[in-house]
C-alpha cells in the first residue's frame, strides 16, 4: 500500500518552508506520495496516513498557526504516523544542546504526548537580518543571536530518510 504523506509547516521568513521542501523531496525520492503545504492551507487530514509537522521557533515559541494546527488536529494526528520538527537555533554545534535539550515548547508537550509522534527533531535555522524589521534586528543585536544560515542539509536529509524508511517498513 502506498502511503500519502503530508509535510506541513509554519514559517516566518521561509527557512522552515525550505526545510519542509527538502523533507518532501527525500520522501518523494523514496517513492512516497507527498504533499508539502503551509499549515494554513491544510483543510483535511483525511487523505494522509502520515504527517510531518514543523515550525520555526522564535524565542522558545512555535509559530501560532502551527500551535493551532497541532491542537485543532490532535485527534486526527494521534491516529496517524507523525513526526515533528522545529527549526531554530542559529549557531555552531548540536542544535539540541544549543536549546538546552528542548525539543518542543513546553506548552505543546502534553499534546505531543497524546499524539505520540515517532520522533521530535530540532534543526538549525537561518536568521537573515535583511528580512527583518527594525525592531527584530534591534532585538537580535541586543541579545547577540548569531545570524546566518546554520541549516544542516545532510542532517535534515538523514532524518527524512529515516522517516521514509519507517513508512516503507510499515
Span 85-104, average pLDDT:
71
% residues pLDDT > 70 (the chain): 89
Q: What pLDDT band is residue 139 in, cutting at 50, 70 and 90?
A: confident
Give the chain's domains with CATH numbers.
Answer: 4-164 (3.40.50.360)
Which sign does the torsion angle of CA 65, 71, 77, 83 carry? Answer: positive
In this prediction, residue 38 carries a pLDDT of 98
Q: Cα–Cα distance between 124 and 146 in angstroms, integer?
A: 11
What does pTM read for this prediction?
0.88
The pLDDT of residue 86 is above 80: yes
Span 10-24, average pLDDT:
94
In this prediction, residue 20 carries a pLDDT of 98
In this prediction, residue 99 carries a pLDDT of 64
Could you please report the per-residue DSSP string of the chain? Answer: -PPEEEEEEE-SSSHHHHHHHHHHHHHHHTT-EEEEEEGGG----TT-SEEEEEEEEETTEE-HHHHHHHHHTHHHHHTSEEEEEEE---SSS-HHHHTTT--S-GGGHHHHHHH--SEEEEE--EE-GGGS-HHHHHHHHHTT---EE---HHHHHHHHHHHHHHHHH-
In this prediction, residue 170 carries a pLDDT of 66
Amino acid at each position: 500500500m502506498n502511503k500519502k504523506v503530508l509535510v506541513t509547516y509554519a514559517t516566518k521568513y521561509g527557512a522552515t518552508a525550505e526545510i519542509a521542501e527538502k523533507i518532501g523531496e527525500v520522501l518523494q525520492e523514496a517513492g512516497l506520495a507527498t504533499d508539502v503545504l503551509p499549515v494554513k492551507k491544510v483543510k483535511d487530514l483525511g487523505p494522509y496516513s502520515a504527517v510531518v509537522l514543523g515550525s520555526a521557533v522564535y524565542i522558545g515559541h512555535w509559530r501560532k498557526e502551527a500551535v493551532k494546527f497541532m491542537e485543532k488536529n490532535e485527534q486526527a494526528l494521534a491516529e496517524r504516523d507523525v513526526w515533528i520538527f522545529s527549526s531554530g537555533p542559529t549557531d555552531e554545534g548540536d542544535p539540541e544542546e544549543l536549546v538546552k535539550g528542548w525539543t518542543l515548547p513546553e506548552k505543546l508537550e502534553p499534546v505531543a504526548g497524546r499524539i505520540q509522534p515517532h520522533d521530535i527533531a530540532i534543526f538549525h535555522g537561518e536568521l537573515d537580518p535583511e528580512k527583518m524589521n527594525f525592531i527584530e534586528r534591534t532585538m537580535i543585536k541586543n541579545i547577540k543571536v548569531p545570524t546566518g544560515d546554520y541549516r544542516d542539509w545532510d542532517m535534515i536529509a538523514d532524518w527524512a530518510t529515516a522517516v521514509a524508511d519507517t513508512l516503507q517498513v510499515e
